[in-house]
Amino acid sequence: MKKLLITGGAGFIGANFVHYWMNKYQSDKIVVLDALTYAGNIANLDSIKDEDNFTFIHGDICDQALVEKLLVEHSIDTLVHFAAESHVDRSITGPDAFIETNIMGTYSLLKAAKKVWLDGDTVLEGHRFHHVSTDEVYGTLSPTDPAFTEDTAYAPNSPYSASKAASDHLVRAYHHTYGLNVTTSNCSNNYGPFHFPEKLIPLVITNILHDKSLPIYGDGQQIRDWLYVEDHAYGIDLVLQNGRIGENYNIGGNNEWANINIVKTISKLVEQEFVNNSELVARFPTAKAAIAQNTESLITYVKDRPGHDRRYAIDAAKTNNELDYTPKESFDTGIAKTVQWYLNNEIWWQSVMNGSYQNWITEQYE
């Protein structure tokens, strides 16, 4: 039985990971530590919040004393670190929070883990610090470059990716210097339930439903490698079970798409939903383009993101071969599930967008 501390477990990927783990390993204990920033949403954990083996702690990963207390009081043996500032556009307009959480926060967690697991009278055998990182640390690719492997040199281009790269290096150093049992995974772009609607895929779905424009940065030919979020959780699971200590593992689905094509694909899927389900017309009367089946008319080319990386692509051969990893979801099934999820969970995205769940947080956790 594992006792896990999950940082950032109220965010998009962290919450999906918590659901995945609670469902698969029902006798494990999970403690979520989350600061509930604008991106964290306690509603993402609503269906499990009363389970006996689940505890939610509202707090900051930079609070080393709190993390040490949680590691000791809950006898944590496995820390899975998702907490981060994660949106590239925000890192361009306001890098400070990225330096604080992604670098200083990771450093604080490493110090706490070293103190509790390594520096006491006995070393905690079998402890694990798993760090969740991104393909963005490798920089950008031309259309013909081979995909990123774990040996690709780091070349981060945005304040976000630079802060993630710095945290990856600290994690590596804590293994090399102090013998902390670490693993790191570098994953490509995720999509699926609970994805905050400032990111491309949920933004496109919700904007169609609001009859708002679909902003395409620059020429829309930038390429991202998309993975269904549950397949990311599955990959981390395999790394935790069988990954070698001190190693990095790439996780990806071999699924490259130009932004403009993914936006057009989602537009068609939403249009089709309106054709298949007449209830949607009543529920989303402002979705004029979807009703008229002309959602592509909402596409608007806008100014490019400064320093915009042209292409990401993950070579996951090491993870596939060593850990027998294969994503379970195809893009067709994953994106169809995702569109359905947003259509079925309007209350979630409306409240995320207008911030109303914050009142609920205040009542429950302040």
Other CB atoms within 10 Å distance of the CB of residue 303: 8
Residue 200 interacts with ligand DAU (CB under 6 A): yes or no: yes
Please tell me which residue in 85, 135, 168, 309 is annotated as part of the active site: 135
Residue 154 interacts with ligand DAU (CB under 6 A): yes or no: no
Residue 352 interacts with ligand DAU (CB under 6 A): yes or no: no
Collect all residues with Cβ–Cβ distance below 8 Å to 286 and sequence separation of at least 6.
209, 210, 211
Rank residues 8 and 243 by Cβ distance to ligand NAD and give the closer one.
Answer: 8
AA identity, residue 261:
N
- Compute φ and ψ for 28, nearest 5 degrees: -75, 160
Which one of residues 148, 284, 312, 349 is an interface residue with ligand DAU (CB under 6 A)?
Answer: 312
Please tell me which residue in 136, 225, 230, 309 is annotated as part of the active site: 136
**Annotated catalytic residue 160:** yes
Q: What is the rounded distance in angstroms from the CA atom of residue 341 to the CA atom of residue 348?
A: 10
Residue 8 interacts with ligand NAD (CB under 6 A): yes or no: yes
Span of 182-190, 205-213, 269-277, 284-292 interacting with ligand NAD by CB under 6 A:
182-190
Q: For residue 38, what are its two tokens?
A: 């604008």
Instruction: Compute CA distances 252 → 92, 148, 315, 324, whole Å.
Output: 25, 10, 7, 13
AA identity, residue 308:
H
Which one of residues 34, 60, 135, 329 is an interface residue with ligand DAU (CB under 6 A)?
Answer: 135
Supply the minimum distance, in Å, between the C-beta of residue 140 and ligand DAU.
10
DSSP labels, 280-330: HHHH-TT-HHHHTT-GGGGEEEEPPPTT---B--B--HHHHHHH----S--
Q: Which residues are at the interface with ligand DAU (CB under 6 A)? A: 86-88, 134-136, 188-189, 199-200, 203, 215-217, 222, 224, 259, 305, 312
Interface with ligand NAD (CB under 6 A): 7-8, 10-14, 33-37, 39-40, 60-62, 82-84, 86, 101, 105, 132, 134, 164, 187, 189-190, 196
